[in-house]
């Protein structure tokens, strides 16, 4: 029997499982779907606490994750790269963003002149920095191999309730993402649909993000062989089929920002349902675990910031599990 069972094998679940192993626990991961079919596998995965409340707790999670991923990039871990990033601003700002303390080289760069009425027009400044980026398929493969090589057990099984996990271990970590709405009876959990387009990389190395683009949030995130173009952020929308018109609009917005993308070959269109939660991520011990479970630790509801907060949340989960119940 294991010491702990993590329910969920996305980026949050696997990070928690590895941290628990590092604390000396025998760990089983139970997942309803293969790792490569989780929403984490679709993520663009550039470090940035998008649409996340800037509390001191969230900043700690983001900072610890930044540091962990930066260290992994130095090793190097498959899929993890420190990449120069431009974050476009359409209004001047006097103060740094709330997450600035996590990013060592963040700098404010006015754009002169700010002209034009098209998508790039109206940009008055940029935040420039170097942040971790993660290509999720090789990274999830690496995390899985690391977990199994350290003695972890990975089981594919769809649980009807969290009490079933207690049959495998006395400590249960609920990292089930959207399924937490059902398994934790949490009505604040909701899907946030995201659509992206993958195109061939013509040699672009810098990420560009325009959160306040007049036609919708826009980002260009290069990887080794392709580029993730995005995107959409649609709360309470759960359709998983790509919409061709949306893909065309995404490509047009991105090519207007980065002209080198004009004519880039389309490789794929992808849709993922981010696990949103009104009120932000829930990371805490449940005061009333189900029968047969000594400790139930919840870790879900990260929305579009799962990669950005993953290792910081895993650290907190591990500290909670290590405490006396």
pLDDT tens digits for 100-147? 999 999 999 998 654 443 445 689 999 999 999 999 999 999 999 999
DSSP 8-class letter at 103 = -
Q: How many CB atoms lie within 10 A of CB 97?
A: 17
Mean pLDDT computed over 192-206: 96
Cα–Cα distance, 38 to 20 (Å, whole number): 21
* pLDDT of 117: 37
26-55 in b/e form (b: 16+ CB < 10 A) is: bbbbbbeeebeebbbbbbbbbbbbbebeee
Q: Domain limits at 15? A: 4-322
β-strand pairing of 80-89 with 125-134: antiparallel
DSSP 8-class letter at 289 = P
* pLDDT of 122: 83
Q: Domain count for the chain, please give it.
A: 1
* pLDDT of 288: 95
Nearest to 42 by CA among 301, 265, 306, 236: 306
Mean pLDDT computed over 272-289: 97
Give yes or no for residue 33 having a pLDDT over 80.
yes
- How many C-alpha atoms does 210 have within 13 Å on its Cβ side? 23
pTM tops 0.85, yes or no: yes
The residues, ordered by sequence, that sit 6+ positions from 28 with a Cβ below 8 Å of its Cβ are 2, 4, 5, 6, 152, 153, 154, 155, 168, 169
Nearest to 302 by CA among 273, 265, 266: 273
Q: How many CB atoms lie within 10 A of CB 205?
A: 9
Residue 267 class from Cβ within 10 Å (0-12 exposed, 13-18 middle, 19+ buried)? middle
CB 285 within 8 Å of CB 292: no
CATH number at residue 55: 3.40.50.720
């Amino acid at each position: 029997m294991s010491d702990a069972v993590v329910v969920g094998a996305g980026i949050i679940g696997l990070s928690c499982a590895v941290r628990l192993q590092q604390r000396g626990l025998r760990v089983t991961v139970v997942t309803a779907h293969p790792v490569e079919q989780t929403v984490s596998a679709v993520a663009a995965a550039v470090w940035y606490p998008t649409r996340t409340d800037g509390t001191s707790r969230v900043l700690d999670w983001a900072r610890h994750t930044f540091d962990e991923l930066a260290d992994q990039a130095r090793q190097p871990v498959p899929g993890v790269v420190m990449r120069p990033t431009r974050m476009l601003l359409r209004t001047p700002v006097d103060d740094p963003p709330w997450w600035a303390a996590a990013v060592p080289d963040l700098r404010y760069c006015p754009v002169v002149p700010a002209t034009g009425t098209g998508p790039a027009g109206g940009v008055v400044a940029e935040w420039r920095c170097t942040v971790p980026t993660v290509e999720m398929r090789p990274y999830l493969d690496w995390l899985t191999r690391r977990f199994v090589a350290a003695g972890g057990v990975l089981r594919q099984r769809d649980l009807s309730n969290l009490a079933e996990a207690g049959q495998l271990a006395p400590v249960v970590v609920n990292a089930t993402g959207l399924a937490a709405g059902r398994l934790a009876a949490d009505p604040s959990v909701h899907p946030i649909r995201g659509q992206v387009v993958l195109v061939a990389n013509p040699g672009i190395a810098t990420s560009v993000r325009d959160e306040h683009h007049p036609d919708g949030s826009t980002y260009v995130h290069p990887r080794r062989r392709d580029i993730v173009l995005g995107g959409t952020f649609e709360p309470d929308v759960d359709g998983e089929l790509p919409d061709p018109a949306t893909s065309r609009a995404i490509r047009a917005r991105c090519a207007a920002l980065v002209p080198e993308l004009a004519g880039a070959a389309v490789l794929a269109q992808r849709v993922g349902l981010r696990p949103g939660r009104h009120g932000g991520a829930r990371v805490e011990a449940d005061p009333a675990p189900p029968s047969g479970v000594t400790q139930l630790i919840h870790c879900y509801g990260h929305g579009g910031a799962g990669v950005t907060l993953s290792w910081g949340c895993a650290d907190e989960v591990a500290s909670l599990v290590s405490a006396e119940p």
